[in-house]
Structure 1
Amino acid sequence: MFKARFIPLNVSQALKRSSHSLVISATQDSAIIFGGELQPRIPVDNVLHKIDLPSGNYGLGNVLTPASAPPPRVGSALAFTKESLWIWGGRGGISMECLPEKGDVWRFKSDEWTRVECDGEPPQDRSYHVMVSYKEDLYVHAGCPATGRLSDLYRLSLASPKPVWTRLADAPGPGRGGTVLGVVPALSSFIRWGGFAGYELGGPLDIYHIPTNTWHSVDVAGEQPAKRSVHVLVGLKGAPRSDGIVALMLFGEGEASDLGHAGAGKFHDDVWALVKVPLTELTEGWSWEKIVIPEGRDKPQARGWFAADAWSEGKVVFQGGLNTDNERLGDAWILEVEKI
């Protein structure tokens, strides 16, 4: 069995928002936040907010307002490579139309934003997709274009002076928004579970093997998590843990609102460990373990539409989101999981 420990960070309520992005900058040991909304469908700002780690300090000096920033947006995706922050996609206003970026990406480096033109076959403009980095390339999956939902996967190769988009193998259907893509470096793979396809989705666990450009769907042993979307599933960074945990899944929406994006649904407040033993076989040895959450003061609210990323030594940093009272949250937490 495993238990969770939640450590609250000292952040300002100025960070209240949902449908935003958060990524850990390893070079600065900080969590970087971009975008989101306070009112449904109205982007809150287009500045970068930085939470210093592990102190959790956040103040005026942690708000970066460089010139030529990307337009404000909700439902975008942020990723980090060793040199740069990258952002792509999202919606820009009350109409919730996708921003027409035509495959261009935004890069933040040396305190400056640059819109970067790309070659290759660009993905459709979209929002509520997921983007991750792996070996200095970016990968974009799923999301919501002007109509419908997608199950495609694209790689953006950053090795050449002009990045190149390549379409990879589509994931198993249905198309979905509000899904996840966890990175498991030990298996050279991404993992996906859940999302929204007009209804909440659950398993099986979908595994994308990067070297062979193939997807595999596997049933995971153990008690099964409830279906959900706009949740978090992140692969843990660093050396493989001796207890077998390769990823953590937390919270998310279990029942959508009748008001759609304008309302709050019913949210989960649980945490799950995805365990893989051994790490040598791609499709065998997966299991779910429900994490024990001690009762007490330091326990975050149930939520969805929040943002998170894996930090060092098996920790996860998460911030903001929407609660069941349709309130945007501004808190931030570190999640640690240990064996009982």
Structure 2
Amino acid sequence: METFQSLKRRTTDLLQSIPQSLPQPAISTKPTIPTLRGTWEKVELPPLPRSSHTVDVVAGTAYIFGGEFNPRKPVNNDVHVINLPLSLSASADSYPVKASPPQGQNGGASAAKEKGLTEVPLSGEDATPEGELVEQVGSSGPAGASNLGDVPPARVGHASAVIGSRIFVFGGRGGPDMSPLEESGRVWVFDTRTHTWTFLDPAPAAAGAVARFPSSRSYHAAAAVDRPRHFAHARQAKSETWHDWAMGDSAKVGIPQAPIVGNVAATAVDEEDEGYGTFFVHAGCLADGERTNDIWAFNVRSRVWSELPTPPGPARGGTSICVTKGKIFRFGGFDGKEELGGQVDVLHLASDQFNDFISTGEVSVTARGDWETLTPIPQTDSLDPDLWPAPRSVSSLLPVHVHGRDYLLLLMGEGTPSSDGHNAAGNFLADAWVYNIPTPRDGSIKHTVFNAIGRKSTAREGRWTQITAEPYDDDVTDELPSARGWISASVVDELEEPAVFLWGGVGDGNVRLGDGWILRLG
């Protein structure tokens, strides 16, 4: 009978021989390219060719405004509404909406002349009161906005962003000479609930001060946040007893046996009409032909423009920005000589608070410190080579949430400018990338654990991953969007997967494209 010691020795020899008995596969020494799967679905609609337009998605419906079909000729000031196919059985449909102010109102400029400043509501028809024109800073155009109409004229190269159910639009070029439209800091507002236009002009400055706002521009970028939103309100009278607190004021709500109907609705306030959020505008091409690198924040509630710290790098047009997790992110652009890239610039935001120990609320969104720059991570023994998208301009940068993580999605764009700069079409890109936004704990915990056990870190925090694109329909093997720039895209929150909607742009041969696509990630 075999002894325990000999059995143990045989077992040990057998286990030690296993690695030598296994086949040795050939392992490539070339770095692997990380990818993320994505699918493109073409939205079946009649063509609507245009570029230098804006696309915004609100509650599963896309709104296309402005742009050009023929170079330097704005199409019109209609808003094209597209109901997106949000289920397998649904189909898309679209229709145009003519530009009009709210029904029964003559717009803001003329109405404000007959009102005092305190009577001008924030819902839109709030131009500068008569005799209190806003003084313009940094532009040679006329001061004030009283000569502007009640709806935005046709334009190209403008920028937009969404706050709640409203779309905010700033800038662009148009008119007979196709120069940046001089609108004295006005922000146009399209209400997707009523399909009407209003506007917000900068509030007049205090006596002796100068109201500042961004110069007129085109081919700039815009983004928005829904803060400040919680404002301080007058404190209500304190109830004397718990019964009074629970039952409320009987003079307003009545009693259970005889309730007063309609009082609550009569005093209800639409927070969108009151205004909330902050609208950001960055960079672009000015009226004198120069580019700029400034960034401004427009407080929707107070109608005040404030300039934020200037980002690093040269002045540029065609750049892209987005806001997520309390930060502004920027990528790319064109400085007049070359396409920009190779870094992601970040500005942390903070919300100023009001607290007088009686009431509290948010006041404004400001910058917290200066800009930071994220660059490629150098290759080391514990990290794979860091791959970055090519420099580009006139692309789209959007925040998306995939597999529990926050990403920046970079879509297409112009990779090589023409010999005439942005006055003609260059070489375009068809790729899509996601940037895994780093968080403080990623570097301090995960990388420490990997290093402690002697394992290479495969974490993608702070790194780019290229999307492997496929058709959404398995029966269609070659239907993918073509390379393009001068595009516009927006996040779609109503689908099961993280998704964005893209429309139009300029393709090879300087051709305006009129197709729409949904990109799903995951």
Q: If the length of structure 1 is used for normalisation, what is the TM-score?
A: 0.90
* Match of residue 332 from structure 1: 516
2:395 to 231, 236, 240: 231
SS of the residue corresponding to residue 300 of structure 1 reads coil
1:141 CA displacement:
0.7
Tell whether the 8 Å contact from 2:77 to 2:99 is kept in structure 1 after alignment: no
Give the direction of change, closer, same or farther, for the CA distance of 1:280–1:45 in structure 2 (3 Å limit): farther
Q: Does 1:112 align with 2:196?
A: yes
| Alpha carbons 1:33, 1:48 under 8 Å: kept | yes
1:1-340 aligned at under 5 Å gives the runs: 1-13=35-47, 15-26=48-59, 29-53=60-84, 54=86, 55=90, 57-59=92-94, 62-67=95-100, 68-93=150-175, 95-109=177-191, 110-119=194-203, 120-135=211-226, 136-146=277-287, 147-160=289-302, 163-185=303-325, 188-198=326-336, 199-211=338-350, 212-221=368-377, 222-236=386-400, 240-242=401-403, 244-278=405-439, 285-294=461-470, 296-312=477-493, 313-338=497-522
Amino acid at match of 2:323: V
Letter matched to residue 330 of structure 1: G
The structure-2 alpha-carbon separation of the partners of 1:42 and 1:276, relative to structure 1 and needing over 3 Å to count, comes to same
SS at match of 1:150: strand
Q: CA deviation at 1:281?
A: 7.2
Q: How far apart, CA to CA, are the structure 2 residues paired with 1:208 and 1:281?
A: 19
The question of whether the paired residues in 1 share the 8 Å contact of 2:213 and 2:305 is answered with yes
Tell me whether 123-132 or 47-56 shows the greater mean CA deviation.
47-56
TM-score, normalising length: structure 2 = 0.60
Q: What letter corresponds to residue 312 of structure 2 in structure 1? A: P
* Counterparts of 1:94 and 1:41, CA distance in 2: 10
Answer yes or no: is the 8 Å Cα contact 2:222–2:322 preserved in 1. Answer: no
Q: 1:42–1:93: 8 Å Cα contact kept in structure 2?
A: no
Question: Contact conserved, 2:291 with 2:317, CA < 8 A, in 1?
Answer: yes
Q: Tell me how far apart the structure 2 counterparts of residues 151 and 281 of structure 1 sit (CA, whole Å).
A: 32
Identical residues among aligned pairs (%):
36
Structure with greater proportional strand content: 1
Instruction: Give the direction of change, closer, same or farther, for the CA distance of 1:121–1:52 in structure 2 (3 Å limit).
Output: same
Alpha-carbon offset, residue 94 of structure 1:
6.0
Q: Secondary structure at the match of 2:197?
A: strand
Change (3 A) 1:210 1:280: farther
- Paired with 2:491 and 2:180, the residues of 1 have a C-alpha distance of 28
Give the Cα separation in 1 of the matches to 2:423 and 2:291: 19
Contact 1:8/1:332 (8 A) holds in 2: yes
Deviation at 1:309, TM superposition (A): 1.0
In structure 2, C-alpha distance between the alignment counterparts of 1:244 and 1:118, rounded to whole Å: 38
Q: 1:93 to 1:203 in 2, by over 3 A?
A: farther
Q: In 1, distance between residues paired with 2:440 and 2:513?
A: 37
Q: Structure 1, unaligned stretches of length 5 or more?
A: none
Larger proportion of helix? 2
Does the Cα contact within 8 Å between 2:54 and 2:67 map onto a contact in 1? yes
CA contact (8 A) 2:175 2:181 kept: no
Contact 1:47-1:69 at 8 Å conserved across structures: no
Asked whether the 8 Å contact 1:184–1:246 carries over to 2, the reply is no
Q: What letter is aligned with 1:333?
A: W
Whole-Å separation in 2 of the counterparts to 1:49 and 1:307: 14
Q: Does the CA-based 8 Å contact 2:51-2:68 persist in structure 1?
A: yes
When Rg is computed on C-alpha atoms for both structures, the one with the higher figure is 2
The number of residues matched between the two structures is: 326
Task: Provide Cα deviations, 1:224-259, integer angstroms capped at 9, x if missing partner.
Answer: 1111100111112xxx43363511111100111224
Deviations 1:244-303 (A, max 9, x none): 351111110011122444532100111111113446579x94100111124832200000
CA distance in 1, matches of 2:394, 2:99: 29
Give 1:321 deviation, angstroms: 0.2
SS in 2 for 1:5: strand
Q: Is the 8 A contact 2:409 2:434 kept in 1?
A: yes
Note the C-alpha offset of 1:124: 0.6
Give the partner amino acid of 2:348.
H
1:45, distance to aligned residue in structure 2 (A):
1.0
Contact 1:41 1:95 in 2 (8 A): no
Instruction: Give the secondary structure class of the aligned counterpart of 2:489.
Output: strand
CA distance in 1, matches of 2:219, 2:441: 33
Question: Is the partner of 2:468 in helix, strand or coil?
Answer: coil
Q: CA shift at 1:56, angstroms?
A: 5.6
Shift of 1:214: 2.4
Moved more, 213-222 or 202-211: 213-222
What is the CA–CA distance in structure 1 between the aligned matches of 2:508 and 2:373, rounded to whole Å?
32
Distance 1:263 1:58, change over 3 A: farther
